[in-house]
């Protein structure tokens, strides 16, 4: 009997040195990869195959906005299509930040060529935007809310009103974005923790804020609603709104995709929490590249006590069972259970 599953697609920054070669080694659908490559070639950009098959990982090449976006989109869509449909019934799909575009590709809202073109366009448009983005934890070592850290983040948002914004609500982490001056000041004011945070995200502008308005305006002129198709799967967006399969307003979906989520906060935690409450999946499947989504997913589930989860220790114990609830395509031992 098939198991029901929610698929979640990762955002920017998930194709790194460890992921080099991920697509060529895991993609069985060579025709799909050829479609992606054709779009990139026509636009005068490096193809997914060229980027993924390079002998050495280059930060300058692989982390360049339009290249990283193409690799992440290609990996996510090919992973989705690799899921064993005889064992798993995908009941809904969502994503984090740029993962929203990948989710649209998985759900059939964007055909493969259109999806690759859109992520390449949006990466180029938003890379030209101003500002910066950083991440800071608002949880403790047990993955429970740290009220003091949360209050400090809110204090910085209030202090730099109209210059600093909550960009992404990402499990136990706040991703803040805004002007370079406001980001610099907030990072200096927040107490260091875990030897890493506050952590500036290199190559990131002020995503999911009003600083992206020019990119949004241009995208809306390039991408009319006619280029969008009806979802073949329910989609959960960065507000927690569900877009039903075969019954969505495509003009509204186009505006949300190219306007709202580009210029306003993306609540990944809420998207996930709504998805599990509404669709009650037996498994959550994390598409590649990488496996970095796991922590934020677990933290979001802990916040609502899903399946009795109250701490990092609870989640770790659950994952060590014979049938883990969360399965990652980016982990070879879990991928084998999925394809």
Q: Which pLDDT value is given to residue 202?
A: 87
Q: Which region, left, alpha or beta, applies to residue 246 given φ > 0 means left and ψ of -120 to 50 means alpha?
A: left
Q: Which pLDDT value is given to residue 320?
A: 86
Rounded to two decimals, what is the model's pTM?
0.97
SS (H, E, C) 277-316: HHHCCCEEEECCCCCCHHHHHHHHHHHCCHHHCCCHHHHH
Mean local confidence (pLDDT), 211-233: 97
Q: Which region, left, alpha or beta, applies to residue 307 given φ > 0 means left and ψ of -120 to 50 means alpha?
A: left
Q: Which pLDDT value is given to residue 12?
A: 87
What three-state secondary structure class fits 106? helix
Helix runs in 107-141, H state only: 112-127
Q: What is the pLDDT of residues 11-49, one digit of tens each?
A: 988 999 999 999 999 887 889 999 999 999 999 999 999
Spell out a b/e string for 237-254, using b for 16 or more CB atoms within 10 Å of the CB, else e.
bbbbebbebeebebeebb
Q: Which pLDDT value is given to residue 254?
A: 98
Q: Which pLDDT value is given to residue 18?
A: 93
Q: What is the pLDDT of residues 292-333, one digit of tens each?
A: 999 999 999 999 999 999 999 999 999 988 789 999 999 999
Spell out a b/e string for 89-102, using b for 16 or more CB atoms within 10 Å of the CB, else e.
ebbbbbbbbbbbbb
Q: What are phi and psi of 55, to 5 degrees?
A: -70, -30
Q: How far is CA 307 from the centre of its chain?
A: 24
As a whole number, the mean pLDDT across the chain is 96
Q: Is the pLDDT at 128 greater than 80, yes or no?
A: no
Angle at the Cα of 170 (from 169 to 175), degrees rounded to 5?
A: 65
Tell me the longest C-alpha to C-alpha distance in the chain. Answer: 55
Domains and CATH numbers, the chain: 3-128+212-335 (3.40.366.10), 132-204 (3.30.70)
Q: Which region, left, alpha or beta, applies to residue 303 given φ > 0 means left and ψ of -120 to 50 means alpha?
A: alpha
Mean local confidence (pLDDT), 264-283: 98
**DSSP 8-state secondary structure symbol assigned to residue 192:** P
């Amino acid at each position: 009997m098939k198991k029901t599953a929610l698929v979640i697609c990762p955002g920017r920054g998930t194709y790194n040195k460890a992921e080099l070669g991920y697509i060529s080694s895991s993609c069985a659908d060579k025709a799909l990869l050829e479609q992606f490559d054709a779009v990139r070639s026509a636009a005068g950009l490096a193809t997914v195959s060229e980027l993924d098959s390079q002998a050495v990982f280059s930060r300058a090449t692989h982390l360049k906005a339009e290249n990283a976006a193409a690799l992440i989109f290609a990996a996510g869509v090919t992973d989705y299509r690799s899921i064993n449909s005889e064992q798993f019934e995908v009941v809904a799909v969502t994503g984090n930040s740029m993962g929203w575009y990948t989710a649209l590709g998985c759900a059939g809202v964007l055909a493969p060529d259109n999806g690759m073109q859109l992520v390449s366009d949006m990466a180029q448009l938003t890379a030209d935007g101003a500002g910066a983005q950083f991440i800071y934890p608002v949880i403790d070592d047990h993955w429970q809310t740290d009220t003091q850290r949360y209050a400090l983040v809110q204090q910085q948002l209030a202090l730099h009103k109209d210059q600093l914004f909550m960009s992404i609500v990402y499990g136990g982490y706040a991703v803040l974005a805004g002007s370079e001056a406001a980001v610099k000041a907030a990072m200096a004011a927040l107490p260091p923790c875990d030897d890493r945070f506050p952590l500036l995200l290199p190559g990131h502008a002020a995503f999911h804020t009003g600083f992206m308005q020019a990119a949004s305006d241009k995208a809306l002129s390039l991408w009319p609603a006619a280029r969008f198709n009806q979802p073949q799967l329910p989609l959960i967006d960065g507000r927690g709104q569900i877009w039903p399969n075969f019954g969505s307003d495509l003009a509204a979906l186009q505006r949300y995709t190219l306007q709202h989520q580009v210029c306003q906060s993306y609540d990944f935690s809420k998207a996930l929490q709504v998805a599990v409450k509404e669709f009650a999946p037996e498994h959550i499947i994390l598409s590649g590249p990488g496996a970095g989504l796991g922590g934020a997913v677990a933290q979001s589930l802990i916040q609502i006590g899903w399946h009795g989860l109250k701490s990092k220790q609870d989640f770790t114990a659950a994952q060590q069972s014979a049938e883990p609830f969360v399965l990652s395509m980016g982990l070879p031992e879990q991928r084998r259970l999925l394809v």
